Copies of this chain bind each other. A is one copy, B any other.
Amino acid sequence: MQKNKSEKYNKILNSAGAVFAEYGFYKATISQIAAQAGVADGTLYLYFKNKDDILYQFISFKTIAVFKEMNAAVEKGGNAEEKLRHLIRCHLREFQNDKNMAIIFQSEVRYLRDIESQIKDISKMYLDLLSDIIEQGQIEGSMRQDLFVGLVKRYILGAVEGVISTWVSADGRYDLVSMADPLVDLYLTGVRG
């Protein structure tokens, strides 16, 4: 197994992403991934410990990249509402731009203990971002004082994920990012007439 992230390493990782997304981790085979990457089966083992490791590396890599984007997005907003809009837009944009990642995050989360804790980490970081935003909103007076923050943040994340999940089911046939503002409006003002 090599140390530096060569071109071939990335080729394999991307191919794996495509194959995992299409067939799911368990039904995907090493041979499929190798074929997709245009290398021999054995070659995968020069770059990765085993099949699990491929998924692990894939998720690690994507997690770090996405989270960096999200942090930057939040920074761009001044008040709580702006920050929330930037975060949700960024979330939808990143997932729209990488459907394989969206599918894999959605469905392969529970299989490897390592990954599970990784995902818990990113989920926690995300929820912490939301906590900060909500608390800022409460200080600014733009969000209610009586909110149960623990519930609100899960509710916000759940709803975004639901919207992404629907988009994936629809095979990514519509623009996901344009859902951001209507979604945030729902968070803010609810459905009541």
- Distance of A45 Cα from B152 Cα, bound (Å): 46
CB of A145 within 8 Å of the partner chain: yes
Assess the A154–B163 pair: CB atoms within 8 A. Answer: yes
List the B side residues contacting A169 at CB < 8 Å: 120
Assess the A144–B191 pair: CB atoms within 8 A. Answer: yes
* Known contacts A24-B110, A110-B107, A193 near B138 by CB under 8 Å: yes
* Known contacts A110-B24, A120-B169, A193 near B162 by CB under 8 Å: no
Assess the A192–B188 pair: CB atoms within 8 A. Answer: yes
Question: Given B152, B162, B166, which contacts A191 in the complex, CB threshold below 8 Å?
Answer: B152
Question: Given B107, B151, B191, which contacts A179 in the complex, CB threshold below 8 Å?
Answer: B151
* Known contacts A137-B191, A145-B193, A191-B134, A158 near B165 by CB under 8 Å: yes
CB of A143 within 8 Å of the partner chain: yes
* Known contacts A158-B159, A161-B158, A151 near B186 by CB under 8 Å: yes
12 examples of A-B residue contacts, CB within 8 angstroms: A27-B111, A142-B193, A148-B182, A152-B186, A155-B162, A156-B159, A157-B162, A158-B158, A186-B190, A187-B191, A189-B190, A189-B192
Q: What are the nearest 5 A-B pairs in CB distance?
A: A158-B162, A190-B190, A26-B26, A158-B159, A189-B190
Give chain A's interface residues, CB within 8 Å of chain B.
24, 26-27, 107, 109-111, 120, 134, 137-138, 141-145, 147-148, 151-152, 154-163, 165-166, 169, 179, 182-183, 186-193
